[in-house]
């Protein structure tokens, strides 16, 4: 994943700004500027590290966009399309036990 | 009944919940008689015409999980199996959600109270919970309980 310094001209560089929110954290949303070929899995790992959460036996943290779960193997370009320069995600705890 | 501090804490965060629910076609109402009780209206993405009503009862916010029950309407009965969606861990016959996110779940499984399954007390746990409820309806829903 390529992360550009804050303030870079995203449109000229071709980078995409990703913003990830996770409500069960006192931290502000995770933000990064990434290349379009960055995988969702890479963003998910960076965001879960930032929010200090990890998968466990009974739950996983998934990245959603417009309510849909995004696959780790998909790229930011596939989610953002050609025109979007900012993509917003939510981290949701998928609880599988119970 | 929630304490005064909890009611103030809930008032600080419930607008974010309202925005999230509006984005997903739902809404919530705060109970007139008990301000620590919220009534949510949720719709599964795959069956937008179906409405599910959830009663959330907070006692100590943000420190403890709320009671979460499905009801047959806003202010309605929470002992109607047909009010429940079919989702793994959502037990219509027991009128509870047996997952580490509700007072009922933590009551049944004390081992969930610590470690990665513990109730989150930072940020906005109200929104965290509602996002999971909507997520479950959107991704693990297979119809209405009989």
With DSSP H G I counted as helix, E B as strand and the rest as coil, what are the percentages for chain B, rounded to 5?
35, 20, 45
Closest C-alpha to B92, from B38, B146, B139, B44 = B146
- With tokens 């919940």, the residue in question is B17
Decide: pTM greater than 0.90. yes
Instruction: Report the residue count for chain A.
Output: 98
Range of the structural domain that residue B112 is part of: 4-139
The CATH number given to whatever domain includes residue B130 is 3.10.110.10
d(CA B86, CA B78): 16
Q: Give me the pLDDT at residue A7, please.
A: 45
**Which of the two residues, B144 and A2, has the higher pLDDT score?**
B144
Q: Which of A80-89, B33-42, B110-119 has the lowest mean pLDDT?
A: A80-89
From first to last of its 98 residues, what are the pLDDT tens digits of chain A? 545 444 445 455 789 999 999 999 999 999 999 999 999 999 999 999 999 999 999 999 999 999 899 999 999 999 988 778 999 999 999 999 77
Per-residue pLDDT tens over the stretch B83-103: 999 999 999 999 999 999 999
Inter-chain contacts counted by CB atoms under 8 A, chains A and B: 61
The SS3 of residue A16 is strand
Nearest to A92 among B88, B124, B132 (CB): B132
* Counted domains in chain B: 1
Closest Cα in chain A, distance from residue B80 (Å): 21
B146 occurs within a structural domain: no
- Count of alpha carbons within 13 Å of B119, Cβ hemisphere only? 23
B122 occurs within a structural domain: yes
B40 occurs within a structural domain: yes
Which residues in B lie closer than 8 A to residue A26 (C-beta atoms)? 122-123
Contact status of B89 with chain A (Cβ, < 8 Å):
yes
DSSP string computed for B73-89: STT--S--GGGSB--TT
* Contact (CB, 8 A) for A45 and A39: no
**CA closest to B98 among chain A residues:** A98
B134 occurs within a structural domain: yes
Q: Give me the pLDDT at residue A12, please.
A: 58
d(CA B144, CA B51): 10
Check if CATH label 3.10.20.90 holds for domain A10-95.
yes
ipTM tops 0.95:
no
CB within 8 Å: B88 and A64:
no
């Amino acid at each position: 994943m390529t992360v550009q310094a804050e303030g870079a001209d995203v449109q000229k560089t071709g980078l995409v700004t990703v913003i990830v929110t996770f409500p069960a954290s006192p931290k502000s949303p995770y933000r990064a500027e990434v290349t379009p070929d960055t995988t969702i899995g890479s963003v998910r790992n960076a965001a879960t590290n930032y929010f200090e959460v990890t998968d466990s036996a009974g739950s996983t943290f998934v990245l959603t966009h417009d309510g849909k779960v995004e696959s780790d193997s998909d790229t930011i370009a596939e989610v953002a399309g050609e025109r979007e320069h900012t993509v917003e995600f939510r981290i949701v705890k998928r609880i599988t036990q119970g | 009944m929630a304490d005064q501090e909890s009611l103030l804490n809930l008032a600080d965060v419930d607008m974010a919940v309202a925005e999230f629910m509006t984005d997903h076609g739902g809404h919530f109402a705060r109970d007139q008689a008990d301000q620590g009780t919220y009534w949510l209206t949720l719709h599964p993405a795959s069956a937008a015409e179906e409405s599910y009503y959830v009663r959330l009862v907070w006692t100590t916010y943000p420190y403890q999980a709320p009671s979460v029950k499905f009801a047959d309407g806003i202010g309605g009965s929470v002992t109607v199996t047909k009010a429940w969606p079919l989702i793994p861990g959502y037990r219509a016959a027991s009128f509870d959600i047996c997952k580490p996110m509700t007072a009922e779940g933590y009551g049944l499984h004390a081992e969930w109270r610590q470690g990665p399954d513990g109730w989150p007390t930072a940020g906005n746990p109200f929104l965290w919970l509602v996002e999971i409820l909507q997520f479950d309806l959107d991704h693990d829903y297979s119809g209405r309980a009989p």
